[in-house]
Structure 1
């Protein structure tokens, strides 16, 4: 068993490596092997432990969930599903104030059921929704804030990559995590829409109401509306196929007809069929597969390193010592939870979401269970807290994604997008508080699913 000095050494080495810019997978691997060496003093044992852990991790078929769900999202994105979805929702909300903002949130919510990756949604809707908003006279800051803020839904609404990583690290049911994110996702969507409607009613000029648009801009808007009207039947069929796919995949997982991995395989296959029906070419199919490979391979490497790190923390006593420290500190469970959320906020300003999970969850999750928090509710709280980092300066990866996608605005700064995203950031914090007070928001639906599956 480690002594206190060795524990501090292990944690310090990890933090030094991470904040020095060493890749998170390399940092976790080096730290893990250092921990085993300090405990055993034998290089052969270190190599044997690392190789056995990697082998056991890679042969676990749950690792196929990530690339398969990504492939499903990539096929549907290539087919133009996101554009059709936005057009249909936009048309259906014609009489709603601020309808383009509301349509962006709702389309992101549905799109989140497909991709599980917020960056993909931010890039897609920067190209789809932003030009429409500007054509209708929307304030630039408000438009970009809507897109960046609603893109966060990709990490909360299943199938979320963060949920998969959380499930692998904690050995929780990924299917239960998926279902646990649905109601909190709807809560966030409702609060986002509530804010947009409030802006549209109190400050109609920010959503283009009452503005006299230039003649060319008005003609372009009318022409675009006419095209959308003509194509509505085809768009409706495309969106209906999308919704059927979502219901089949998530409904099958919820009711226990198949595992998350099997559901991901079914989803990828159905998405491929829909994409081919929409005219996806062989070259586009190849490009989608290669894109998923380039994105998912580093994630799988991270997960192998994270499993090694998690095992080492348990074996060396770091997890147990941390748990005892907080339990003996005299702090209330909610104060300790507040501390964990604060750590996630701070890390969210510096490093990416998956790295935050890999670094903190092996220690925080056992502590939360010891404090009496529901594991599913705590997982959703953690994912929401980590999500805020996607909108928090100076990292704010969604903000940088939106800026990179909006190429026509030469004078646009990241600061303007950050300011537009603040209300959406606040909504995420409010949702965290609601789940802390009412954990049933997260765990009720999985419990119902478990009952139905019996």
Structure 2
């Protein structure tokens, strides 16, 4: 039975302490322990529950997928492959209006297959693409807008860290979620390309191809996430041989990881291990990455992954606390009455994700909401896989939403250009936000867009 006297204070306290600035992991742990103590009435039993939840979570096989995919992305990033791919796409589009913007979108789509981290992609492509676009006379806001918008592909196209996190929280197949993101991800990339080409055709002054201007000073190399890329002095020095080698190797890596999952050769966690080894071999043997850089990459992933795994454990504990309050059964009884149409419930959840996206990061949003929203989505009739894609799209749209969209602030910081305001970047990124909503709506209306590939893959036997 639902206990308002416990559940509501636990939920309310969590919201308050998070918005007061307490770290999300600490907030989840504190609220969970308080709730468990109130429910169980024993400090010893509370600590035993805490310990058993942590043990069960840490021994979970799927937990290894997250740091392994992050290591794969880190090695690829440090190898310089993203620079090679960007330059290759840019040269292939020679003569096309807005080609640098198109290269950024397509480069982000390929880069998403290798990293799955939107913030890291935003930082990397700001340092790679923005100086080039400014040198060609691009409008500052337009240039940073396309970088911020297309970076969202990193959380939809597999291997996405948000997909892994969602799968862990709801005990769903990581492989199914990866495959579910392929069609929506390609749809989103296509919409981005259509918008860029249309905008460049009708407003060519924003895409000043051929206008020679002095580029802004290149920002210093910095680490902004698991897939940060060192600063690039001159992309023109990249040869056709470099591009060909990187393209072939990266194509092979993507085919090995996703193909292995698709054809059932290995699980998503095993695919992460295979991808990490292949990425390490490519970075060292082909690109000449030095061992100190390898060690630095592993350390960077450890610094990023360790706090994230702790947050996941605390979220699992919080989910158990909510379950003991009976809130899940209460929500099921309320929405089973049919008094509220399913579409209204979905709109409500999407609005909550938008609002949270203005204030906190994607992973924190997921940790706070998925334990409650995922069962609710299934209750109103959505396939769990399709609902996960809807949720990820909504969360990604949230971090593009003013006034505190984190991707926009990331590109603003990485660009180090005082002549472009944050508001101007938000305005330029709005069309990409609309594209996210279009794909979200399409998946909500036709869930098969997310489930088709997974169904034919896992049911073919």
Distance 1:9 1:391 in 2: 31
1:149 maps to which residue? 149
Matched, 1:26 2:26: yes
CA–CA distance in structure 2, aligned partners of residues 446 and 435 of structure 1: 15
What's the secondary structure of 1:115's corresponding residue? Answer: coil
Greater alpha carbon shift after TM alignment, 237-246 vs 90-99: 90-99
Q: Is the 8 A contact 2:136 2:211 kept in 1?
A: no
1:327 aligned partner: 336
| Cross-structure match for 1:236 | 244
Could you tell me how far apart the structure 1 residues matched to 2:336 and 2:358 are? 28
Corresponding residue for 2:220?
A: none
Contact kept? 1:108, 1:153, Cα under 8 Å? yes
Distance 1:54 1:281 in 2: 37
Select the residue among 379, 404, 407 that pairs with 1:398: 407
C-alpha distance in 2 between matches for 1:10 and 1:390: 26
| Deviation, structure 1 residue 34 | 1.8
Structural mapping, 1:328-347, within 5 Å: 328=337, 330-347=339-356
- Quick one: distance in 2 between partners of 1:285 and 1:16? 41
**Closer, same or farther: CA 261–348 of 1 in aligned 2, 3 Å:** same
Does 2:17 match 1:5? no
For residues 322 and 348 of structure 1, do their structure 2 counterparts lie closer, same or farther at Cα, with a shift above 3 Å needed? same
Distance in 1 between residues matched to 2:84 and 2:262, nearest whole Å? 27
SS at match of 2:22: coil
SS of structure 2 residue aligned to 1:175: helix
Distance change >3 Å, CA 225–CA 165, structure 1 → 2 = closer
- The equivalent position to 1:350 in structure 2, one of 331, 351, 359, is 359
Tell me if structure 2 keeps the 8 A contact 1:389–1:395. no
Q: Distance in 1 between matches of 2:402 and 2:366?
A: 19
- Contact 1:149–1:421, Cα closer than 8 Å, also in 2: yes
Deviation digits for residues 184-238 of structure 1, max 9, x if unmatched? 00000000000000111111111115x7535x78xxxxxx79645xx11221111
Counterpart Cα distance in 1 of 2:455 and 2:309: 30
Stretch of structure 1 that moved more, 306-315 or 422-431: 306-315
Q: Verify: 1:425 aligned to 2:433, yes or no.
A: yes
Give the Cα–Cα distance (whole angstroms) in 2 for the partners of residues 8 and 59 of structure 1.
31
CA gap of 1:332–1:308, structure 2 versus 1, over 3 A, is same
The answer to whether structure 1 residue 251 and structure 2 residue 259 are counterparts is: yes
| Structure 2 residue 63 is the aligned partner of structure 1 residue 50 | no
Instruction: Kindly indicate whether the alpha-carbon contact (under 8 Å) linking 2:3 and 2:327 is maintained by their aligned counterparts in 1.
Output: no
Matched, 1:265 2:300: no
Alignment of 1:291 onto 2:283? no
Distance between the aligned counterparts of 1:196 and 1:160, measured in 2? 24
Given the two structures, how large is their TM-score scaled by the length of structure 2?
0.93
8 Å CA contact 2:64–2:269 kept in 1: the answer is: yes
Cα offset for 1:394? 2.4
What CA distance in whole angstroms lies between the structure 1 residues aligned with 2:459 and 2:422? 47
Q: CA RMSD in A?
A: 1.6
| 2:378 alignment counterpart | 369
Look up the match of 1:439: 447
* Contact 1:319-1:362 at 8 Å conserved across structures: no
Q: Which residue of 2 aligns with 1:220?
A: none
CA distance in 2, matches of 1:329, 1:35: 30
